[in-house]
Structure 1
Amino acid sequence: MIDAALFSSALGALTPILFAALAGALCQRAGVFNISLEGTMLVGCFAAVAGSWHTGSAWAGVVAAMLAGTAYSLILAIGTVTFGGDPIVLGVAVNLLAVGLTSFLIRTVFGTRGTFSDPALAGLEPVDIPGLDRVPFLGDVLSGHTLLGYVSWLAVAGLAVLLYRHPWGLRLRGVGERPEAAASLGVSVGRYRYGVILAGGALCGLAGAQLALGNVTLFSENMTAGRGWIAVVAVLLGRALPVGVLAAAVLFGLAEAFGFRLQGIGLPQQATDAAPYVVTLLALFASSGRLRSRRLMRGSP
């Protein structure tokens, strides 16, 4: 049951979660708790399929997904930064709006309900890494993923360098930890928060493109199926650290892949589909227990 194919499937499953979780971590570092990842990713899914279908190019779909995710995240940016709204309330509203908006657009643009799939729809092709694909086990695990999958791994390293080795990242962390002090030094808190929310929208667009054109090649209503919420949990478990977020995303990717494997041996689909969410709950319980024990050790309530 545990073989190279399982780990390869896990890497494919973690890519949308990882992109969205990196978006959430970036926003968290700027002091914005972004729970609109689910809705923004869903908009990215639709835009990716629409762009690919109209142009015949999967990469045009990827660009469309990034642009749509960025534009859609303006709702959260304007509401929280310009008008000072509660990001939790706005995030829930953004998620609900995305479900209704994409359900309306699938009827308007594609003239169908539920699911849109077309043989002419161009998807993202897997990439075989020369040399690595001939290495036993390791080649089967690491080779044969979409280009966006490899980009997501590089994005972890890039974000870590940006946050901890670049002046922009240091100022961004200052905006999140001490916004008044950052503003007194001439740093525009609003501009930084706008920037990270929009960048997070682009990352969620990439997550949607991978899900709709890489993992499958179709659009289905509410096809994100809670992955954005899992990404929020990954941000919490990883403490908004790029490497921590990656570790949490790997955990959830393994849970999803293992669920598919259990489904293949005859377990009901409803039970196997619940595997990532069971792991999410267990991880949250473990995290809250760890935090509680640390507070007791420090003597705080």
Structure 2
Amino acid sequence: MEDDVQRKLSWKIPGTLAIGTLLILMFALNAVGETRLRLGDRNQSYNIEDMTLTASNILWVFFVLALIATVWSVVHNVTRGKFGRAGRILNTTAIILVAIMTILGFLLFAGAGSRGAVTLTSALVATIAISTPLIFGSLSGVVCERVGVVNIAIEGQLLVGAFAGVMAASFFQFSWAGLIFAPLAGALIGSLLALFSVKYAVDQIIVGVVLNVLCLGLTTFFFGTLMTENQSMLNTNRYSLKSIKIPGLSEIPVIGPMLFNQSILVYIMYVAVVVLAIFIFRSRWGLRLRACGEHPKAADTVGINVNRTRTLNTILASSLAGLGGAFFTIGSGLAFTNNISSGNGYIALAAMILGKWHPIGALGAAVMFGFAQAVAQLIPSLHGGIPSDLVNMIPYIITIVAVAGFVGKSRPPAAENIPYLK
């Protein structure tokens, strides 16, 4: 009986929180000087004065709060959740609190004694820019895996979306043309994924890996030949998407520029998250989708064409990833370069898993990864003594720690990567 109780105890979350608490303690012990915090943005009509904080004092407060959160997580774990829903809410709050304080604590530590300012608003704007393709990719993964298809090919779909988006915008000299061709390119890769994994029952993970290699090879070939020879006509950044500033909302301190002064692609992302969060769990389409991913035989029994449902939704989801890939080029004002997606498709998969196959959860995880990368970009301007290689590792370390420490007892759809054969 004692062994059964021990098996129910998982120390992953308390252990991860303890690591975060120790990091904050290390920051507090080594922070010397004051940190200048900048909350204003040059695109806003008013100016917010910089805040000057004594870094060590704030970090010690963070440490105490993180210690309390960690102790609560241990108590919640040992009592095996006897506090019910309130206890689970407090435990989730503790996780979020420690995660935020660890990242902010690192910023305060890096900015202590620096001549530069911690430009928090700019970091948040960069977070949205970095997170947008991750969110589109993770939404693609959510739809595919909910219907029973593992979409490892997100990386390739982001890549071809970036390629097709800038090529179409450059050729037609119209930025919105890229918003049409990018999802079509992603849907094409999704069609290949559905063809081999659904129709011919090839292992979905193998197909996804092969498609990623195919997309990388094709885009590299065409970039080195077709695009390079006709750069002004097929690969220019002159026709990128412009930012759309929403009056009033964009003037909200700190979060206004982050959320309401973005391109149409970011606003499409907002809509996609809300629509999928509602329709996957509150519509007939979503019920059929989840039935095919959980129990395809039962779905077939009630008249659902399982393989057709899987095929169509895999193509739909892949078009979302292709649309997200367009952000690397026309959404960011950049021309296409080799391997411009740079592994973001795999981070999107991690965000989907961390978000427990839910659009809102995937959104939160992707934003967390995006913020980690934005912090990594900010650090060199604050603290030149931190090795650049260590800074570049931050987003990937966050990915590993989050998936290993916070996923817990998440369960994927029962029939994913299992072909349905009548």
TM-score scaled by length of structure 1: 0.91
Structure 2, unaligned stretches of length 5 or more? Answer: 1-117, 411-422
Distance 1:124 1:276 in 2: 27
SS of the aligned residue for 2:397 comes to: helix
Distance 2:236 2:149 in 1: 41
Aligned to 1:161: 278
Computing the radius of gyration from Cα coordinates, the structure with the larger value is 2
Q: Aligned-pair distance for 1:120?
A: 5.8
Q: Aligned-pair distance for 1:43?
A: 0.7
2:156 to 7, 30, 39: 39
Q: Does 1:284 align with 2:403?
A: yes
Distance 2:358 2:216 in 1: 29
2:394 to 275, 295, 300: 275
The answer to which structure has the higher helix fraction is: 1
**Pairs aligned (count):** 290
Distance 1:120 1:226 in 2: 22
What do residues 95-126 of structure 1 show as CA deviations (whole Å, max 9, x unaligned)?
A: 1111111000112321369xx99666311111
- Contact 1:10/1:253 (8 A) holds in 2: yes
TM-score scaled by length of structure 2: 0.66
Amino acid of the residue matched to residue 278 of structure 1? I
Q: Does 1:263 align with 2:358?
A: no
After superposition, where does 1:1-301 map in structure 2 within 5 Å? Answer: 1=118, 3-111=120-228, 121-265=238-382, 266=384, 267=386, 269-287=388-406, 290-291=408-409
Amino acid of the residue matched to residue 279 of structure 1? I
Distance 1:291 1:165, change over 3 A: closer
- Contact 2:169/2:178 (8 A) holds in 1: yes
Distance 1:55 1:37 in 2: 26
Structure 1, unaligned stretches of length 5 or more? Answer: 293-301
- Contact 2:179/2:326 (8 A) holds in 1: yes
Q: Aligned-pair distance for 1:284?
A: 1.8
- Contact 2:373/2:394 (8 A) holds in 1: yes
Task: Percent identity, please.
Answer: 35
Name the Cα RMSD after superposition. Answer: 2.1
What do residues 137-167 of structure 1 show as CA deviations (whole Å, max 9, x unaligned)?
A: 2323222211111111221110011111111
Distance 1:173 1:268 in 2: 46
Distance 1:200 1:268, change over 3 A: farther
